[in-house]
Structure 1
């Protein structure tokens, strides 16, 4: 059998996390280093690998259902597991002492040694109904994030702060100070982006980085059943449908 498809061969590497292409990740398991991954993100595997639902309390289950948390599965054993999610671009980061804050919608997989805590970005600012929840990732290990298209990594310094659209920001250094504000002063702010085409934004101050994707739509989670709206992360079947209280829904 001959075909140009045979040019898309497995990328050989001794690294634990290896990108097979821009949209697929391989993680190697050696029997004592479990991986936590987004449920349903496994597209193939080799070896003796087990997949189990990660235990969640009732509170954690409720948070995952409303978009405030992350529904995970635990992958263990010996072999290689290939992960992907709706052809999103995949990026591997090393989490170190400073920590990482990330929108849970963009997490593909991470080392089980990392700790994730739900964080309400807007709570300290008292913005009623905005409901913007993130994951604060601490510890040491690797995490694989997804973006809609190639992202932009912006450096934040005390002399140069960064503003980002709340729908386009993917992750940032936990050490940064974050402020949420509306990019309009009109009464239409409570509508989707008001009349300016812009809505809520996050301002990052301090020293660190902010990762922005070239899209203001969350990755669709149920594209097959959500029709056109679901394919673009909107409506009851899209990722936004899980958090209807958001002012940017």
Structure 2
């Protein structure tokens, strides 16, 4: 048989984590290092591989209900190769080290089982009040696979410069960065998007590190906006987004 499809056969590599193509992740399992993946993200596998729902503690369940942030994971174990994907999103590998990674859980595809995750409040961690925005902090040493809607932009934050990012477009950032959350600069109230521009919350990053931004704010139809004045002014947009 001949076909252009043969250009898409699996990559031959000794690496444990490989981006098979921009929207598909390949993970090799060797029997002693499990991988935690987003539930339902397996699209194919080879070998003797088992999939089990990952245990969620009562504390984690409570944090998920209270914040809306958290991971629904399955444990992949055994000997073989697993292919992971989700809604044809672009996949990116990140080496997590002592610096740590802060990310919206909606953008996590998979991670090494040795990594530790914890839900944090951006406001309480950095002294910012009134935002109520929660994120997932990933610490330890290992790899994590993130997803973006489209090709992302990685911005460098240095001591001389800081970066402002739309809160609906940011995917992840170095945990060591200092963060400030801000909304409108006029007094018409935080629920109205800035001056009729459609812009809302922003995150300002200071320090040394990186910020990952995607070219999408996940507005409707991926995240349906409410009707009436709430929808007009952006309230509730990007709620229950495409990866939940």
Please, what TM-score do these two structures have when normalized by structure 1?
0.85
Pair 1:144 & 2:134 matched: no
SS of 1:10's equivalent in the other structure is coil
1:186, distance to aligned residue in structure 2 (A): 4.3
User: How has the CA–CA distance of structure 1 residues 140 and 64 changed in structure 2, closer, same or farther, with 3 Å as cutoff?
Assistant: same
Contact kept in structure 1, 2:184 and 2:193, CA below 8 Å: no
Q: CA deviation at 1:214?
A: 0.7
Matched length = 228
Q: CA 1:59/1:194 → structure 2, altered by over 3 Å: closer, same or farther?
A: farther
Q: Does 1:12 align with 2:9?
A: no
State the 4+ residue runs in structure 1 displaced beyond 4 angstroms. Answer: none
Q: Does the CA-based 8 Å contact 2:110-2:144 persist in structure 1?
A: yes
CA distance in 1, matches of 2:157, 2:31: 39
Give 1:189 shift.
2.7
Note if 1:126 corresponds to 2:129. Answer: yes
3-state SS in 2 of match to 1:90: strand
- CA change 1:47–1:192 in 2 (3 A) is farther
> TM-score by structure 2 length?
0.87
Question: What SS does the corresponding residue of 2:239 show, helix, strand or coil?
Answer: helix
Stretches of structure 1 that go unaligned for 5 or more consecutive residues are 219-228, 243-249
Instruction: Tell me which residue corresponds to 2:111.
Output: 110
CA deviation vs aligned residue, 1:193-220 (integer Å, no higher than 9, x gap) = 66221100111111111111111118xx
Residue aligned with 1:134, SS: strand
Q: Does structure 2 conserve the Cα–Cα contact (< 8 Å) formed by 1:235 and 1:241?
A: no
Q: Which residue of 228, 233, 241 maps to 2:223?
A: 233
Could you tell me whether the CA contact under 8 Å between 2:217 and 2:238 is conserved in 1? no
Contact 2:101–2:138 under 8 Å retained in 1: yes
Distance change (3 Å), C-alpha of 1:184 and 1:4: farther
Q: Give the conservation status (yes or no) of the 8 Å contact 1:184–1:199.
A: no
Report the alpha carbon displacement of residue 184 of structure 1 after superposing the two structures with TM.
Answer: 3.9
Match runs of 1:118-197 below 5 Å? 118-123=119-124, 124-127=127-130, 130-191=131-192, 195-197=196-198
Paired with 1:9 and 1:239, the residues of 2 have a C-alpha distance of 36
The 8 Å contact of residues 186 and 194 in structure 1, kept in 2 or not, is answered as no
List per-residue Cα deviations over 1:30-85 (Å, max 9, x = no partner).
00000011111111111111111111123322444553111111111110000001
Q: 1:93 aligns to what?
A: 94
Aligned partners of 2:194 and 2:32: how far apart in 1? 48
Q: C-alpha separation between the residues in 2 aligned to 1:239 and 1:74? A: 28
Query: CA 1:166–1:209 in structure 2 vs 1: closer, same or farther (change >3 Å)?
Result: same
SS at match of 1:60: helix
CA RMSD of the aligned region, Å?
2.0
